[in-house]
């Protein structure tokens, strides 16, 4: 007679296969036997310990104060904006395994190029030997006043320029400060009304870079198609969409560039930042890298932010007749979240 797999062999198989599965399939596996149930519990615990899957310099854990509540939110992690065609490559990664692939963490110098946006203008760069000093004219041609400096002085800034991925200074260029992932400690906390929200796990100084909004770059046609689907699912409580629409006004003033970034299924931790009707504590800055086709959406601290404070920004102006209910809790709350049309 053929021997059946013993428990240790079964667990070795489970350790290889289960980390690739989404929560619904994990739950089905857990119900099949006690050995799988224990392994699924371990995987869920490891997933809850770091939403970034090890790709940021600090783990970003989930915290749900409700006993027995959802331990984490499942999504595909990317440190930089991607095209929808890249989603398949991102899905081919396990999450919650015993020995994650450390070669893709921020500690490896190759991680910058591995996670560079495919729309970042790979042929662009500058000839400065040191961008902090500049080129022949003493100013790096890729540079602009830093967003942090404008914000700290109380000024506003809509566009900031940075070096491209081929800058001769390399990954540590002083003019690529927003391209190294999330520099601060954060955590994701579940709220009974608002759902998941992004909170600080340290104090953050006014003007400091916090994170960018990473997800899928969409055409306007595709963004509107997805938004219609998301609105239907969100109205019935089946989905919390994370589709951000930014309009960049061109210098001529006669037109604007519309940028659509969808972090609903593919994104980074910025997808958990909630709306606040009073503007919140984050300022949105468009960062354009030398040679890039599209700007990146980055968040800077609008003011000094305390440890454990929730991060928030304004999604736009609200139409009181449209949009989902808003639970931001600010004194100026209008009761409705902004809709895509605004």
The encoded tokens of residue 60 equal 């970003």
Q: Give one DSSP letter per residue of 169-187, joined into a string.
A: T-TT-TT-GGGS---S-EE
Please say whether the beta carbons of 79 and 118 come within 8 A. Answer: no
Secondary element (H or E) of residue 225: helix 220-235
| 3-state SS class at 61 | coil
Each residue's pLDDT tens digit, 65-118: 999 899 999 999 999 999 887 766 777 789 998 754 544 433 333 333 334 454
pLDDT value at residue 125: 62
Euclidean distance between CA atoms 216 and 261, whole angstroms:
5
Q: Phi and psi of 179, rounded to 5°? A: -105, 10
Euclidean distance between CA atoms 331 and 132, whole angstroms:
43
pLDDT band at 130; cut points 50, 70, 90 = confident
Each residue's pLDDT tens digit, 22-53: 999 999 999 988 889 999 999 999 999 999 99
For the chain, strand residue ranges (E) read: 62-63, 76-77, 159-162, 186-191, 195-200, 209-212, 216-218, 243-249, 256-262, 266-267, 274-275, 282-289, 296-301, 312-313
Instruction: Kindly tell me if the per-residue pLDDT of 253 is higher than 80.
Output: no
pLDDT value at residue 134: 62
Instruction: Kindly tell me if the per-residue pLDDT of 303 is higher than 90.
Output: yes
Closest to 298 measured CA to CA, from 87, 167, 144, 191: 144
Q: What is the mean pLDDT of residues 220-238?
A: 86
Sign, Cα dihedral of 79, 175, 288, 197: positive
Euclidean distance between CA atoms 44 and 26, whole angstroms:
9
Euclidean distance between CA atoms 311 and 276, whole angstroms:
9
Q: How far is CA 191 from CA 3, 23, 248, 328, in A?
A: 49, 20, 32, 11
Domain ranges of the chain: 101-313
Instruction: Kindly tell me if the per-residue pLDDT of 341 is higher than 80.
Output: no
Portion of the chain with pLDDT greater than 90, in percent: 44
Q: Name the pTM for this structure.
A: 0.85
pLDDT value at residue 115: 42
Residue for token pair 């700007």: 295
Please say whether the beta carbons of 51 and 77 come within 8 A. Answer: yes
pLDDT value at residue 110: 33
Euclidean distance between CA atoms 336 and 342, whole angstroms:
12
Report which of residues 121 and 238 the model is more confident about. 238
| 3-state SS class at 209 | strand
* Vertex 164: Cα angle to 159 and 169 (nearest 5): 120
Instruction: Kindly tell me if the per-residue pLDDT of 320 is higher than 90.
Output: no
Domain 101-313 class, CATH top level? mainly beta
- Give the DSSP letter of residue 319: P
Euclidean distance between CA atoms 324 and 320, whole angstroms:
10
- Give the DSSP letter of residue 37: H
pLDDT value at residue 342: 43
pLDDT value at residue 148: 55
The encoded tokens of residue 170 equal 């390399």
Residue for token pair 């013993």: 6
pLDDT value at residue 237: 73
């Amino acid at each position: 007679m053929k021997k059946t797999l013993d428990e240790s062999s079964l667990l070795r198989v489970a350790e290889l296969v289960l980390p690739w599965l989404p929560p619904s399939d994990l739950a089905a596996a857990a119900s099949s036997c006690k050995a799988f149930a224990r392994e699924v519990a371990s995987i869920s615990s490891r997933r809850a310990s770091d939403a970034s899957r090890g790709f940021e310099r600090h783990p970003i854990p989930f915290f749900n104060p409700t006993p027995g509540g959802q331990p984490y939110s499942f999504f595909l992690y990317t440190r930089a904006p991607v095209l929808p065609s890249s989603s398949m490559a991102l899905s081919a990664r396990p999450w919650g395994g015993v020995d994650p692939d450390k070669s893709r963490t921020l500690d490896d110098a190759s991680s910058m190029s591995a996670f560079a946006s495919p729309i970042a203008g790979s042929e662009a760069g500058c000839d400065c030997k040191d961008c902090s000093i500049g080129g022949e004219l003493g100013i790096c041609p890729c540079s602009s006043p830093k967003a942090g400096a404008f914000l700290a002085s109380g000024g506003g800034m809509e566009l900031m320029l940075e070096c491209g991925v081929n800058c001769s200074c390399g990954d540590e260029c002083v003019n690529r400060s927003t391209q190294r992932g999330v520099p601060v400690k954060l955590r994701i906390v579940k709220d009974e009304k608002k759902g998941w929200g992004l909170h600080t796990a340290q104090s953050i100084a006014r003007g400091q870079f916090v994170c960018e909004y990473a997800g899928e770059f969409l055409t306007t046609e595709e963004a509107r198609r997805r938004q219609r689907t998301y609105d239907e699912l969100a109205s019935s409580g089946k989905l919390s969409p994370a589709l951000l629409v930014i309009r960049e006004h061109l210098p001529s003033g006669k037109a604007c560039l519309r940028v659509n970034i969808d972090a609903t299924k593919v994104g980074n931790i910025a997808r958990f930042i909630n709306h606040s009707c009073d503007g919140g504590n984050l300022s949105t800055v468009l960062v354009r890298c030398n040679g890039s086709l599209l700007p990146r959406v980055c968040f800077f601290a609008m003011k000094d932010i305390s440890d454990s404070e929730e991060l928030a920004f304004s999604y736009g102006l609200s139409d009181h007749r449209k949009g989902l209910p808003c639970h931001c809790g600010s004194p100026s709350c209008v009761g409705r979240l902004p809709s895509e049309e605004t």
